[in-house]
Amino acid sequence: MIKKIVILVAVLFVSACTFQTKHRGYVFPDDLETRLAGVKTTAQLQDKLGDPLAKTVYGDTVWIYYGMDENYRGPLPHTYDNKTVVLAWVDGARVTKTQILHDDDLPKIAMDDQETEIPAAIELNAVQELFNNIGRFSPAGMGQ
């Protein structure tokens, strides 16, 4: 009997495991360095990489491209690898400098597990949430 329970638990544990990798952000080509070597204008940069993920607001105008792989390994914590950041300093329509950063070049940042409280937030339990939503949704097909 104990052997069956152990096998059942092992099967359930293994069946809960998923091994997959999702790409987040830009998918950079393998020859990224050579593609960026000849880039002199923002039009060329957009042709090679597309629109930037972000642009700086203060200081020098920098276009930022970012991509990484997020690895799911069942009950284990998510891991991230193949992180790449491309920074392009832009002056008008001209690209003055580009820099490519990979995993080893990026700083290690630890996320805090605590949550930030939202001022004046209303915290409801499951039953309060259920009753709070009554009447908020229109019937299907009403077009509202």
Show me where the domains of the chain are located: 2-111
Closest to 85 (Cα-Cα) out of 111, 61, 49: 49
CA distance 78 to 17: 12
Per-residue pLDDT of the chain (144 residues; tens, 9 = 90+): 888 888 877 766 666 666 788 888 888 888 888 888 888 998 998 888 888 888 888 888 899 898 888 887 776 777 888 788 888 888 888 888 888 888 887 777 777 778 777 787 778 888 888 777 777 766 665 555
Amino acid at 139: P
pTM of this structure: 0.59
